[in-house]
Every structure is written in C-alpha cells, then in structure tokens.
C-alpha cells in the first residue's frame, strides 16, 4: 500500500479513535446526571399468567429472572449495609420499615421457580436470601419456608429442601422443635446423609447451643457445591468464632488483663465501645453479628 | 429424483451465499460464548444457564432462519421471475417445491450442527474447571449426550416451521407469509390448551371446534424438552420417536399441499 493510499485509512482510524474517546466522555458525563428511576418495578404475574405469557423457552426466561433476583438481592444488601454504617441512620419511623426492604425479592424468586419448577439453586439460595436479617436480607423466614415448600411440592425427593427448612427454623426462627422435625423428615428420604438424623436428635436435645450451630455450618461448608454457598458458610463460621473471641476478650477486659485488641477472623480489629464493651467494628465484613439461637430450656 | 437432488443442492448453495444467515450463526455462537460470562453472575448453576441459553439460541436463531429464508424459497423465484426459466426445464413443479425445502433443511442441519458444536465447546471448557463437589452435585454432566435429544427435536421442530413458511409462501406475499408463520408458531405452543377447552366452556360446538383446531394446528410444545434435559430427567426414545414421527408426518402433509398449490398456480 502506498503512502497516498494509506492516508484515507489512517484518517479513518484517527476519526474512529477520536469519536470513541468523545463517546466515552459523553457517557461518563451523562452518568454524572442520572435520571430519577424507580427500581421497585417489576413484572410480577401470577403463576398461571406467567405460564401463559412465557409460552416458549421458559427455562431461559427463568434464568433471566434468577439473575435479576441475585442482582436485586446484592444491590439492596449493599445499599442497606451502607445505610446502616452511615453516620445518620434513618429516622425512627423509617427504621421500622426500612426503605430497602427487599420487597421484590420473593416475587422474583416465585416467578423464577414457576417458570422452572426444578430450579434447585433458586429454592436453596432464595431461602438463604429471604431468611437473612436486615441489612443482610429482608428477614423473612416465613417466605423462605414457603419457597422451600414450593420446591418440595415440585421435587418431593429433595431431602436438601428439608435440611434448608430445618436450618431456617433453627437459625432464623429459633424453633428447635420444628427444625428437628424438618431434619427428621429429610432424613427419612432416600439418599439423605446419615448426619441428618443425628442433627435432628442434637437439635431436639441441645437446641441452639453454639456447638450445634458450628456443627450445622460446618456440614454446610463441607457439602457446599459452589463458591457462593461455601463462602456464606465460611462467613457464619467466622461470625461464631468472633462471638467466642468477644466473650474471651470481654472477660480479659473485665479482669484488667487485656493488653491489646486483636483482629477479628475477617481481619478487622475489635474495638472497645461505650460501657467498656468489647465489640465488633461496624467496618468488619462480619458486622452485624447474628443473634445467637438460645439453648433449649431445661437442657 | 435426480433433479430433486440438484434443486436441493442449489437451494443449499443459495442459502450458504446468504450473508444474513452467517450473521445469525455467528451471533448465536457469540451468545453461547457470552453465556460463560453470564454464568459467573448466577451464584452457582452456571452450567444450567449455559445449557438453557445454548439450547434456546439454537431454537431461536434456527427459527429466524427457518422463517425468513423459508418464506423466500418460492416467492423469491417468482419475484425475480427466475421461476419461468426453471419451469421451462424438464422438472416437475412439485420437485421444485420439495427440492427447495430439502435445500433449506440441509442448511438448517449444518447451522444447527455448528451451533451445537459451539455449545459443547463452551460446556467442555466450563466442565473442565469444575471442582469435585460441583461435579457431584450437578443434575446432569457438562458434556451430557442427552443434550443431543433436545437438539434433535428442535431440528424437527424447525423443519416443521420451514414447511409452514414454505406452505404460506406458495400463495402469499413474503411479509404476510412471515406474519402467518410466526402466528402459527405461537399458536402451536398453545395447542395443548385447545385439547382441554371442554374444561372451560360448555358449548359443544366450541368444544368440537377447539378439538378440530388442536388436530389441525401443529403441536410444537412437545418438541421443547430443554427443561427435562437440563435437569437430567429422562426423555425416553419412545417419546422422541413418536414426537419426531408426528413432526415428519405433519411436514409431509404440508409439503403435499404446498406442491399441489404450486403445481396449480398460474404464473401468466
């Protein structure tokens, strides 16, 4: 190619580069002034209507709703955590009904599982999302159980859903009788692991002591089949370790032998708060610590 | 018979020359590649999503090809007036219709094969990096041969859609043929509802009409076994044989009608 023939090509490349730079700048400028949007809008249809409208490729549409549910949960969790960590919390009237109340989470999960009734992860993770307390989730164990029961109607052979129901009753509702019953129902199904039955017995005998919690989360950690579930279980195990640490540190502080404050299992230093209480830093990824299930009365 | 083969081969060559078709295949293959990225956002279940997306891409892009190339099979020849040159040759009009159809089916088969290979390549890559826990927990293996059952039934479905498009194109304009074909495609997914119409209406006439339509309209939903295959549920060979045989019979009916209409059509 001669120099003269190359000139138009060079000019075209230069023009494309300049226009691309202009396009990037325009987008960046526009993003500084976003239009007001209402993210609380979704197409929520009844099960019957959903089945009719999505007449083909239901599995694909259910995947899209699942992606939407994951993003919705992640986005709202981030907003809620930022709000809680902020200097100015919401006024009391709003605090009762947080503005980021995850209202659409259950509808999104319901549509996902209506379109694909055997969408295993949507039931299992969906239940985890729903039962997490604010700001980590909406704190709706009732909806978590409803979702898992829907899963059992569609796949009665899934002992894992009984395990998850038991888990919700144990961890979020602190109803050990129901938790034990759920573990037992799951243990009766073919293919259920041996530890489900012993879990049911332990639950009935000891209720929510910390070692039972640790056992439960360790089982979930060991049997997790993906990184998300493994990380969630790891986080809970670290929180339990933090509770142990706080008790020991508080005792040391009370005795006057505490020289320095170590870091929590996630790497953020503990701190001494009002009333000389050793506590977790709000900046720690483990914050806030879960309410521990209580020990069964009489045990 | 020999002329039929030549027409089919020429139809295939003509489709291969069509650049729109290439872009559809490239887009479908890119979409499958992109499903890897999409799978990373899903908190597990990446394989399921890739399979869903891959199988749907094959069906949707195949549908575009079947409809938009199918409607032009006959009407394009008429529009370009090349049909006069063809009809002057010692070939039967019916052979022309059947040959054109077979040419497009051959094209669809090649394209579906390309898209299936792309899907398996993406699944092989993802399955290769899976850990042992994920491998044990998944409902079906990454390189599940059962996916071919879904692909096979999708191909028969696309062959039906091509036959429908060809049927309309023998007596209608391309635009109207496309609209009618897509309309029948949508209705084909609801035909099971027509069978159960007697549960919603009392009128005997309406019930008979609905039952009649159920048998006349193509029943396309049984060809979609994506959900079963992706979740590792069994799809028996008997089911596949009966469903495919139904599809092939329906295609034969449409081809006979199309050939008859085209044979009787006056091109003066």
Mean pLDDT over the full length of chain B: 84
A10 within domain boundaries:
no
Q: How many domains does chain A have?
A: 2
CA-based nearest distance A76→chain B, Å:
16
State which H helix or E strand residue B66 sits in.
Answer: helix B46-70
Residues A175 and A268 in one domain: no
Residues A205 and A266 in one domain: no
Residues A240 and A292 in one domain: yes
Name which of A204, A167, A195 is nearest A299 in CA terms: A204
A184 within domain boundaries:
yes
Which of A60, A121, A223 lies at the smallest CB-CB distance from B45?
A121
Residues A179 and A219 in one domain: no
Identify the domain boundary among A179, A214, A249.
A214
Q: Between B132 and A79, where is the model more confident?
A: A79
Least confident stretch, B31-35, B78-82, B157-161: B31-35
Residues A210 and A221 in one domain: no
A132 within domain boundaries:
yes
Identify the domain boundary among A214, A248, A281.
A214
Name which of A77, A74, A155, A143 is nearest A106 in CA terms: A143
The enclosing domain of A188 has a CATH number of: 1.25.40.10
CA-based nearest distance A228→chain B, Å:
6
Residues A182 and A129 in one domain: yes
A19 within domain boundaries:
no
Q: What is the pLDDT of residues B60-105, one digit of tens each?
A: 989 988 898 888 877 777 777 777 777 777 788 888 889 989 998 9
CA A37 remoteness from chain centre: 25
Cα distance between residue B196 and residue A267, in whole Å: 62
Residues A227 and A292 in one domain: yes
Contact B76, B230 (CB under 8 A): no
Q: What is the pLDDT of residues A215-249, one digit of tens each?
A: 777 877 877 666 777 787 888 888 888 888 888 88
CA-based nearest distance A12→chain B, Å:
25
Please give the pLDDT value at position A299: 34
Q: Which residues of A touch B200 (CB under 8 A)?
A: none
Residues A136 and A210 in one domain: yes
The one-character DSSP state at B141 is -
Residues in chain B: 268
Tokens for A97? Answer: 């009904």
Residues A156 and A265 in one domain: no
- Interface with chain B: mutation pick from A52, A54, A61, A63, highest number of B CBs within 10 Å: A63
Q: Burial, B207: exposed, middle or buried (Cβ in 10 Å; 0-12, 13-18, 19+)? A: middle
Q: Which residues of A touch B44 (CB under 8 A)?
A: 121, 125, 225-229
Please give the pLDDT value at position B132: 66
Identify the domain boundary among A191, A214, A237.
A214
Using 50, 70 and 90 to split pLDDT, how confident is the model at B16?
A: confident
Domain that holds residue A294: 215-299
CA-based nearest distance B157→chain A, Å:
13
Residues A75 and A91 in one domain: yes
A284 within domain boundaries:
yes
Query: By the CB < 8 Å criterion, does B194 face chain A?
Result: no
Please give the pLDDT value at position A41: 53
Q: What is the pLDDT of residues A167-194, one digit of tens each?
A: 899 888 888 889 889 999 998 999 888 8
A81 within domain boundaries:
yes
Query: By the CB < 8 Å criterion, does B186 face chain A?
Result: yes
Decide if pLDDT at B150 tops 90.
yes
Q: Do A229 and B44 touch (CB under 8 A)?
A: yes
Q: What is the pLDDT of residues B106-131, one digit of tens each?
A: 989 988 998 898 889 888 887 776 66
A6 within domain boundaries:
no
Residues A193 and A258 in one domain: no
Residues A204 and A244 in one domain: no
């Amino acid at each position: 190619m001669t120099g003269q023939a190359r000139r138009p090509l060079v000019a075209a490349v230069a023009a494309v580069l300049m226009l691309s730079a202009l396009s990037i700048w325009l987008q960046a400028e526009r993003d500084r002034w976003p239009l007001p949007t209402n993210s609380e809008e979704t197409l929520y249809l009844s099960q019957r209507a959903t089945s009719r409208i999505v007449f083909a490729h239901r599995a694909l549409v259910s995947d899209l709703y699942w992606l939407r549910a994951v993003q919705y949960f992640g986005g709202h969790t981030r907003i809620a955590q930022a709000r809680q960590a902020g200097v100015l919390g919401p006024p009391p009237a709003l605090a009762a009904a947080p503005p980021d109340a995850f209202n659409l989470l259950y509808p999104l999960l319901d549509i996902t599982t209506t379109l694909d009734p055997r969408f295993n992860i949507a039931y299992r993770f969906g239940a985890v999302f729903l039962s997490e307390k604010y700001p980590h989730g909406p704190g709706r164990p009732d909806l978590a159980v409803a979702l898992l029961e829907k899963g059992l109607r569609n796949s009665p052979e899934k002992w894992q859903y009984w395990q998850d129901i038991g888990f919700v009753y144990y961890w979020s509702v602190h109803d050990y009788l129901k938790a034990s019953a759920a573990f037992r129902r799951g243990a009766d199904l073919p293919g259920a692991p041996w530890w489900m039955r012993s879990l049911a017995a332990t639950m009935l005998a000891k209720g929510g002591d910390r070692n039972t919690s640790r056992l439960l989360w360790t089982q979930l950690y060991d049997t997790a089949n993906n990184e998300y579930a493994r990380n969630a279980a790891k986080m809970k195990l670290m929180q339990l370790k933090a509770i142990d640490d706080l008790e020991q540190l508080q005792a040391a502080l009370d005795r006057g032998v505490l020289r320095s404050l170590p870091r929590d299992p996630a790497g953020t230093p503990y701190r001494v708060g009002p009333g000389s209480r050793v506590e977790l830093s709000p900046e720690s990824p483990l914050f806030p610590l879960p309410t521990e299930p209580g020990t069964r009365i009489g045990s | 018979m020999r002329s039929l083969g030549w027409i089919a081969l020429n139809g295939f060559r003509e489709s291969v020359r069509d650049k729109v078709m290439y872009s559809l295949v490239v887009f479908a293959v890119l979409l499958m590649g992109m499903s890897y990225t999409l799978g990373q956002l899903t908190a597990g279940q990446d394989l399921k999503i890739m399979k869903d997306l891959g199988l749907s891409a094959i069906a949707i892009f195949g549908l575009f090809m079947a409809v938009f190339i199918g409607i032009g099979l006959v009407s394009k020849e008429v529009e370009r007036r090349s049909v006069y040159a063809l009809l002057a040759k010692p070939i039967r009009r019916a052979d022309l219709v059947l040959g054109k159809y077979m040419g497009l089916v051959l094209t669809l088969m090649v394209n579906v094969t390309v898209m299936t290979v792309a899907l398996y390549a993406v699944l092989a890559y993802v399955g290769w990096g899976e850990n042992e826990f994920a491998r044990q927990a998944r409902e079906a293996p990454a390189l599940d041969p059962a996916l071919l059952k879904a692909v096979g039934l999708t191909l028969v479905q696309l062959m039906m859609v091509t036959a429908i498009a060809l049927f309309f194109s023998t007596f209608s304009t391309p635009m109207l043929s496309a609209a009618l074909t897509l309309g029948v495609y949508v209705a084909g997914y609801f035909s099971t509802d027509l069978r159960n119409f007697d549960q919603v209406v009392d009128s005997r006439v309406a019930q008979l009409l609905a039952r009649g339509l159920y048998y006349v309209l193509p029943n396309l939903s049984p060809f979609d076994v994506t959900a079963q295959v992706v979740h590792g549920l069994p799809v028996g060979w008997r089911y596949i044989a009966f469903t495919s045989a139904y599809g092939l019979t329906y295609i034969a009916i449409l081809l006979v009608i199309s050939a008859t209409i085209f044979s009787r059509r006056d091109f003066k």
